[in-house]
Each structure stands twice: as C-alpha cells, then as structure tokens.
Amino acid sequence: MGAGRPMVMVTGQAGALALIAYAKNAKAGPSSALSKAVAPAATPAPNSPEAKKAAEAAEAMAKLKKDMRLGKKNAIGDAKGRAKAKLQQVVERLKLLKKIYANDPKAMAKALAAAAKELQAAVKDYGKAAKESGELYAQDFSSLPDAATDPEGAASQRKQLEDEAKMEASGDMEFMKLVRGTSQALKDELQTAKTKGILTQPGKFERSDEVKEAEDGLKELDEMTEDLDQQIRRDMPPGSLMKLAA
C-alpha cells in the first residue's frame, strides 16, 4: 500500500493537470469556433480575381434590371399606342358615318352606339397601360440612390426620371383630350340624328331603343373618361405633378 501511494499521487496530479488543461481548451475551443463562424468575410483586394468577379456580377445584375425595365416600358408604350390607334379609328369612322347615314337617323344612332363602345374599349386599354406605367415609375423613384451617400447621383437620376415622367404624363393628357373631343363629336351627331328623327321617323324617335343605347353608351364613356383622368393624376410620380388641362 505504501509503495503504491506515490503512484496514486502522481496519477492524481496528472489527472488534475489534464483536467485543467481540458477545461481551458474547452473554454477556448467553442469561443474560437464561434468567432470563426461569425467573422465577416474579408473584402477582396482591389484588382484581385475575386474583386473583378464581384464587379462583373454587379454590372451584369445592373444591366439585367435595366433591360427588364426597358422591356416593360416598351410594352406599356405599345399598349398605349394600340389604344390610341383604336381612338383614331373611331375618329375616321365618324367621318364616314356623317356621309353614309346623313339621312338615316335610326341607322346613325345605332352606329354611334357602336362607336361609343369602341371608344370605351380604347379608354379601358389605355387605363390599364397607364396604371402599369405609374407602378413602374413608383418603383424607379423608390430605387434611387441614397441622397446621403450619393447626393449627385441621386439628384441626377431623380431629374432624369422626373423629365421622363413629365413626358409620359403629357402624352396621357393628350390622349384624354382626344377622347373628350371625340366623345363630344359623337354626342353632337346623336343630337343631329335625334332632331332629324323627330321630324322624319314615326313615333317618339328620341325615346327609341337606338337612341337610348347610344345615350347610355356615351354616358358610360364619360364616366370611364373621368375615372381615367383621376387615375392618371393620382398615379403621376413626384416631380411630374403639374397643372394639365385636358
């Protein structure tokens, strides 16, 4: 037993030292691992392959966003163009109606009702495109550079967007002006047809189905036109708000 005691003491001391060393490593180990896990990624050195790759990726993303915006803007422009074409077709058709149905008020009223519906379709299509345009500009303005970190860049891009938005708004108001003018022309022709019908048609022509259909169509057209006007003015982005008479 006495001979064994030094061995026990040595073993105890070694165990204690080992335990102390383990405790120190255990404390340092997780902390060191955690530090490595949360340590921020090193910034690539200038002109290094990593820095060049990061710059190329950022440039590619910027180009992709620019191309996507251009594609959407062109699609909106095409949709507005088709709506304007429909409007112009109504204008040209009205010229023919004046000649063809000059002495047939019943046929004229029926044709005017059809023209009013075509004009409604043009206003509806234009309104959808105008809505998308407003949403696009809202996204553009919300994505401007931070004026605090890049005042010149933010001011330049804002000015460019505002000028572009003003041109867009001007085109919208021109469309509204043409719609209102054409709508008034249809009303004038309907009134002429009613006057002739009263004089030449049996019964109360002014209360006929043809006249009522035309009047209802023109009334609905007026409501749609006013709704579109309010929508355009509401969706105009900052900087494009101006007094526009239509």
For the full predicted model, state whether its pTM sits above 0.75. no
How many structural domains does the chain have?
1
pLDDT recorded at residue 28: 45
136 part of a folded domain: yes
* Averaged pLDDT, 222-227: 96
185 part of a folded domain: yes
83 part of a folded domain: yes
Return the percentage of the chain with pLDDT > 70, whole number.
75
Full domain range(s) for residue 161:
59-235
- Confidence check: pLDDT of 25 > 50: no
- Confidence check: pLDDT of 13 > 60: no
**Residue 201 or residue 18, greater confidence:** 201
Binned at pLDDT 50, 70 and 90, residue 154 comes out as confident
pLDDT recorded at residue 98: 93
Query: Cα–Cα distance between 86 and 91 in angstroms, integer?
Result: 9
205 part of a folded domain: yes
151 part of a folded domain: yes
140 part of a folded domain: yes
10 part of a folded domain: no
- Confidence check: pLDDT of 191 > 90: yes
111 part of a folded domain: yes
- Confidence check: pLDDT of 29 > 60: no
pLDDT recorded at residue 50: 76
Query: Cα–Cα distance between 140 and 235 in angstroms, integer?
Result: 13
What Rg, from alpha-carbon coordinates, does the chain have? 38
Binned at pLDDT 50, 70 and 90, residue 62 comes out as low
Average pLDDT, the chain: 80
At residue 136's C-alpha, the angle toward residues 83 and 81, to 5°, is: 15
- Confidence check: pLDDT of 103 > 60: yes
Query: Cα–Cα distance between 212 and 219 in angstroms, integer?
Result: 10
Query: Cα–Cα distance between 110 and 208 in angstroms, integer?
Result: 10
- Confidence check: pLDDT of 139 > 80: yes
